[in-house]
Structure 1
């Protein structure tokens, strides 16, 4: 077996050390992620520089990189809260959030990787309790769902405004009431709907009756005016006009014998 040259062993040692150093120094940041650099011998977490972006990076082997997901993420929460009258309501909500990219170093330094459990969950639960406590179960079940969604979002956003976390949206997926309360509300809503339908029918019938009354009054007024305007002379003239038109008709033969009480000719027959 041939012996290695005297300089061979040191070269191998140097190569091994180089490989270890490169392995410790090489950092790859995947898509949708960013890295926070920690300098062991220089004030620790770097907060005054942008985080390390996607791709390959070389750092000093004694430093560290903490990788964070910076894409939008979702938190799903089932929360039991009390309404304004003390009834327990279950709210199913989702929060869309992501760390503030430029403040990733501050986020790591102040909260760490478990920032979701440290600030986001407590914030949305606190906001949900505060908002739902202002409404009755009936309002939550029917007309106020969109309102509480917006209010929970605004209150949670206010709480998180100084926590280096960006809240994008809060969605209230479901509001679950106790069965007895839900049934009572549904009965009340049905009764209100039936009452509205009945009132509509009454209004419609009243309008129809008013229309008939107005039409009848109009006819009565017209007949009254007409009766007041007709005299014996006018009636006699109209009778003469009608007789002449009938006499001029080629399809009729008129025989005039005497006259009636009104002085009009009497028509005895025609073909």
Structure 2
């Protein structure tokens, strides 16, 4: 009985347990040698005297950098960069063996090289315009080519903020203001053209109506209108002086009672 208890105590002394949580990868390192088996979640029992468990995140991680990017015209553009990356689960032992735990430094170095190659093909204003997405994609592709074989996957490269040189920034703002003014003027001219067209159409409509009306004023209709006018004048209580040829009344004066 005592021997059994001693064996249990001895086993407890020479064993330990590590918990691998979701989003982590655990690798055994026994007597300095890394094993190829990777545990993604659960527990690992090991001998603390000969073995240790190395844990690495296999989730998407964010590496933020603040550096200057070169442009095609030779300017230096200050930019805040976010690199989204993750480690391939099966290649975690290879990454630890060939690169080590400081793989973030390798990612940074690859980014500096890739961004210098890509940004030197674009003007500084492109980094501040709609071409930013093209630059981000080109850098991501170039980084992926260099790091994929290492077991590091680049999911995205994001240029969160761009600080252009002061003179260039002012020039771009002036250009944008001029473009907005030109668009505003074009809108005003377009409204004026539409208003002119409306007036022309209105004038044509009035002219056509007068032509139609004049063509419809036959002598008989004119006589009927004259009679109606005399009737309306007869209804008025005011005194009037009217000159007429018996056909068409013409009012030249009127006095109130």
Q: TM-score per shorter chain, which class?
A: 0.7 to 0.9
Equivalent residue runs for 1:234-245 within 5 Å: 234-240=221-227
Is 1:38 the equivalent of 2:25? no
Q: Give the match's secondary structure for 2:118.
A: helix
What SS does the corresponding residue of 1:218 show, helix, strand or coil?
Answer: helix
Moved more, 100-109 or 87-96: 100-109
With normalisation by structure 1, the TM-score equals 0.73
Q: Following TM superposition, where does structure 1 have runs of at least 4 consecutive aligned residues deviating by more than 4 angstroms? A: 13-20, 241-247, 262-266
* Equivalent position of 2:143 in the other structure: 156
Cα offset, 1:126, TM superposition: 2.6
Secondary structure at the counterpart of residue 210 of structure 2: helix
Which residue number in structure 2 is paired with residue 21 of structure 1? 14
Q: 1:172-183 residue pairs with structure 2 within 5 A?
A: 172-183=159-170
The structural deviation recorded for 1:90 is 1.6
| 1:131-150 correspondence to structure 2 within 5 Å | 131-150=118-137
Structure 1 counterpart of 2:56, from 52, 64, 68: 68
8 Å Cα contact 1:51/1:105 also seen in 2 = no
Q: CA deviation at 1:111?
A: 1.9
Structure richer in strand, relative to its length: 2
8 Å contact kept, 2:14–2:47? no
Structure 1 position 77, deviation (Å): 0.9
Unpaired runs of 5+ residues, structure 1, are 1-7, 254-258
Equivalent residue number for residue 230 of structure 1? 217
SS of the aligned residue for 1:50 comes to strand
Q: 1:239 to 1:15 in 2, by over 3 A?
A: closer
From 58, 62, 65, the equivalent of 1:77 is 65
Whether 2:53 is the aligned partner of 1:89: answer: no
Give the aligned partner of residue 206 of structure 2. 219
Taking structure 2 as the reference length, the TM-score comes to: 0.77
Which has the higher Rg, Structure 1 or Structure 2? 1
- The aligned residue for residue 174 of structure 2 is 187
Match of 1:5 in 2: none
Structure 2, unmatched stretches of 5+, are 238-242, 251-256
